[in-house]
Amino acid sequence: MRVLARWLLGSVFLLFCAGSVGAKTQVFSKGSKELKVVITEDMAQRELEADSLRKAREFDAAIEGYQGLIDECQGDERFSPQARLSLKVHYIKKIALCYRAKGDYQKALEQYEAILAIGEKEVSEEVVTSALLAMGRLALTFGRCDGVAQVFESRKQYLPDELLLLLGDIYQKAGRDSQARQTYLEVLESHLGPRQDGRVVIGCYGVPPEEREPLEQEALERAEDLASGLEKLAEEGNPQAQLLLGELAWEQGDYNKALAQFQKAWTLSPKDPLIGLQIARTFIALNSNEEALNRLKQIGSLLNGPGELLELATAYQLAADPAGARTVLQKLVAEHPESPEAREAHLRLQLIDRSGL
């Protein structure tokens, strides 16, 4: 009998395979995300014994067993460096579980810190995220928030949303309310659009790409330059041409000219709520939030798709109306609960609540 330990994305799973006992272990590599490590039956049996001790709440004996396995695999040249590392992380996680279960939370934190100390280049992103999540949850439950916050802060620019939210919660637990709120707001703003010069850059939603190219070709057939051709089409009552003229002005940063073009498009097609949404977004770009909100209220009932509702909520948020954004996000979740946009809406609702908006 031999035992195959399978490492996938930083986790080790034991698989039992029939075969003869070999005095020498073997390492198999397959792809960039999977490492298969063949370990001896003796090591597998010792891990099972340590697991049994942990379940029986004999934590010190279990820890001793896991530590012995770490020492053995680290000194065994038959394992590749990556195999030794993956097994070490696997056993350290089990040691951390023992310390948590016995109530020694400081020691449990030290185990996760040991995993992080190995270095992000040596272990997978999933392993680092898992260790940070465990540390953050321990801090929220048992204290030592300031120390864990420092660990998070040292990696802040690389943290996914889940960990940034957790960092905000840690700040709040530590009584650092202003930092908590700032963290929540930073995550929320990152979902509204990229930042430039201290503010969120608002995107222009004009003519869809699949419609823009034939429209541009038609415009160039009417005149030597694109703008002149589009103006001729707009004069003939083509709202898409008017929209594209507004988009061109937007791309040049001329929001007043863009607004005038979008408003002409609205005159030509007053029942198109997406044109109204773009007018509202242009008012926001011009720092005219009151006018933007008036337009959003005018078209809100006409937007019903999950993507449209998410854009509507974004516009409300950018117009400094978090209550309006909340209402739209709640509608999105209620009417399109299985959509990807609903998951995004759930996250934004959490951020709005936690930041006290």
> What domains are there in the chain, each with its CATH number?
1-102 (no CATH), 209-354 (1.25.40.10)
Torsion of CA 211, 215, 216, 218, to 10 degrees: 150
Give the pLDDT of residue 209: 73
Tell me the per-residue pLDDT of 43-58, one tens digit each, with 9 for 90 and over: 889 999 999 999 999 9
Report CA dihedral (345, 349, 351, 355) to the nearest 10 degrees.
Answer: 150
pLDDT digits (tens, 9 = 90+) for 1-21: 333 333 333 444 443 333 334
Buried b / exposed e across 30-66, counting CB within 10 Å, b at 16+? eeeeebbbbbbeebbebbeebbebbeeebbeebbebb
Q: Check pLDDT > 60 for residue 267.
A: yes
Q: Which residue has the tokens 């590749």?
A: 80
More confident residue, 74 or 107: 107
Q: Is the pLDDT of residue 261 over 80?
A: yes
The span from the CA of 236 to the CA of 232, in Å, is 6
Q: How confident is the model at residue 162 (pLDDT cuts 50, 70, 90)?
A: very high
Identity of the amino acid at 76: D
**Percent of the chain having pLDDT more than 70?**
88
pLDDT of amino acid 120? 61
pLDDT of 18: 32
Instruction: Give me the mean pLDDT over the 26-50 stretch.
Output: 66
pLDDT at 111: 94
For the chain, what is the mean pLDDT? Answer: 84
Distances (CA, A) of 63 to 5, 98, 190, 269: 20, 7, 42, 72
